[in-house]
Amino acid sequence: MVRVVRLGDGTLATGRTLPGRGAWLCRDAPACVDTAQKRRAFERALRAPVDAGAVDELKRVLSGSTGAPDRTGGESPAL
């Protein structure tokens, strides 16, 4: 399981120790992100609007295909 939080700028980040409301998501199943997006689970759990672009970036981070530095807040780099 990985904890997802919405940062002040509207992006999503993963990490167990990041401040604020969080949503727990299964780490090893990419379909979990799609299901959560379809059910609007991120908006409900985080109590804030979540942009589709932020969810797409989360998918890239969880799949490990991004070259950008991650903001994991205590998670291992390999997620």
Per-residue confidence band for 71, with pLDDT thresholds at 50, 70 and 90: low
pTM of full prediction above 0.85: no
Per-residue confidence band for 73, with pLDDT thresholds at 50, 70 and 90: low
Residues 6+ apart with CB under 8 A from 75: 2, 14, 15, 16
The dihedrals phi and psi of 8, each to the nearest 5 degrees, come to: -60, -30
Per-residue confidence band for 29, with pLDDT thresholds at 50, 70 and 90: confident
The dihedrals phi and psi of 24, each to the nearest 5 degrees, come to: -90, 135
Neighbours of 70 (CB within 10 A): 14
Give per-residue pLDDT as tens, 1-16: 999 999 999 999 999 9
